C-alpha cells in the first residue's frame, strides 16, 4: 500500500520539529556569541541560508545530531572570525569551496573530540567504521567529502531559494505553487483542494517560478 501525501507529511513532522527546535537553540547561541559584532543580522541570514547544508554534510559524514549542530555553530563562528579579519580571498577560490573546507575542518574537530572523549571514558576501542569515516574526510584529495558536498549544495540552494521565495510572494500563491509544481499535483486537484481557479494555478506557477529562478541565480552567484 502506497502512503498518501498526508501520511508522508505526518511521518516527517516529528523529525522536522526536532530539527526546528535544535535550529532555534543553536541560532540563539550563535547570535549570542556574535554579540560584539555590528552585523548580527547578516550572520543570522547567513546561518539561515547555510545551516542545513553544513548539518546534512556533517550527519552524512558520520556525526551525531548534537555533534552536527556543534559543527554548524563552530563553522559559522570560524567563518565570521575569518571574514572580520578579511582572510577570505575570492581570487584563491570560490566561496562554495571555502565553505566546504571550513566545514571539513570543523567536522574533523568533532571526530577528534569524540575520539578523545571515548578514550578517556572507555579506553582505546574506537569504532573502526567511525575511524574510517574521518580518514576518508581527511583524505588530501577530499574526493569523498567533495562529492557529498556537491550533492548537498544543490539541495541546499534549492531549499534556501524556496525559503526566500516563500517570504516574497503571497501565502496563497506559494501554496498553489507548492502543490502544483513541487508536489506535482495535477491542475484539477489543485483547483479542487485549494478552491482556486485554473487561471490562478497557472498564474502562480508563472509568477512564483520567476521569483524562484531569480533567487536560485542569486545564490549561485554568491557561491562564485
Distance CA 39, CA 43 (A): 7
Distance CA 149, CA 56 (A): 9
The predicted pLDDT at position 224 comes to: 66
The predicted pLDDT at position 142 comes to: 55
Percent of the chain residues topping a pLDDT of 70: 66
The predicted pLDDT at position 197 comes to: 95
The model's pLDDT over 28-53, given as tens digits with 9 standing for 90+, comes to 555 555 544 556 677 777 888 888 99
Distance CA 147, CA 104 (A): 13
Q: Are residues 135 and 144 in contact, defined by beta-carbon separation less than 8 angstroms?
A: no
* pLDDT tens over the chain, length 224 residues: 445 555 444 445 555 665 566 555 555 555 555 544 556 677 777 888 888 999 999 999 999 999 999 999 899 888 877 766 655 666 667 888 888 989 999 999 999 988 877 765 555 444 544 444 544 444 444 578 889 999 999 999 899 899 989 999 999 999 999 999 999 999 999 999 999 999 999 999 999 999 999 999 988 877 76
The interaxial angle of helices 95-122 and 65-84, nearest 10 deg, is 130
The predicted pLDDT at position 134 comes to: 47
| Cell 537553540 sits on residue | 25
Cβ count near 143 (within 10 Å): 10
Distance CA 120, CA 125 (A): 11
Cell of 187: 491542475
Q: Are residues 160 and 219 in contact, defined by beta-carbon separation less than 8 angstroms?
A: yes
Domains, the chain, ordered by start: 20-27+38-159 (no CATH), 169-224 (1.10.10)
The predicted pLDDT at position 140 comes to: 40
Distance CA 56, CA 60 (A): 6
Closest to 58 in 3D by CA, of 66, 189, 122, 220:
66
Q: Are residues 145 and 102 in contact, defined by beta-carbon separation less than 8 angstroms?
A: no
Amino acid at each position: 500500500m502506497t502512503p498518501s501525501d498526508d501520511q508522508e507529511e505526518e511521518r516527517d513532522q516529528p523529525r522536522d520539529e526536532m530539527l526546528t527546535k535544535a535550529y532555534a537553540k543553536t541560532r540563539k547561541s550563535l547570535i549570542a556569541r556574535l554579540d560584539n559584532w555590528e552585523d548580527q543580522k547578516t550572520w543570522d541570514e547567513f546561518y539561515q541560508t547555510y545551516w542545513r547544508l553544513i548539518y546534512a554534510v556533517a550527519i552524512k559524514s558520520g556525526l551525531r545530531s548534537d555533534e552536527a549542530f556543534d559543527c554548524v555553530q563552530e563553522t559559522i563562528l570560524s567563518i565570521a572570525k575569518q571574514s572580520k579579519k578579511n582572510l577570505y580571498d575570492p581570487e584563491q577560490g570560490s566561496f562554495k569551496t571555502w565553505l566546504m573546507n571550513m566545514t571539513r575542518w570543523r567536522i574533523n574537530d568533532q571526530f577528534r573530540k569524540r575520539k578523545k572523549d571515548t578514550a578517556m571514558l572507555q579506553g582505546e576501542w574506537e569504532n573502526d567504521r567511525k575511524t574510517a569515516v574521518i580518514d576518508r574526510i581527511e583524505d588530501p584529495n577530499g574526493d569523498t567529502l567533495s562529492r557529498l558536498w556537491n550533492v548537498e549544495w544543490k539541495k541546499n540552494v534549492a531549499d534556501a531559494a524556496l525559503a526566500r521565495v516563500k517570504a516574497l510572494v503571497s501565502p496563497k500563491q506559494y501554496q498553489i505553487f507548492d502543490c502544483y509544481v513541487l508536489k506535482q499535483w495535477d491542475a484539477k486537484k489543485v483547483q479542487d483542494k485549494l478552491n482556486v481557479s485554473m487561471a490562478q494555478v497557472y498564474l502562480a506557477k508563472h509568477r512564483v517560478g520567476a521569483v524562484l529562478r531569480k533567487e536560485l541565480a542569486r545564490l549561485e552567484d554568491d557561491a562564485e
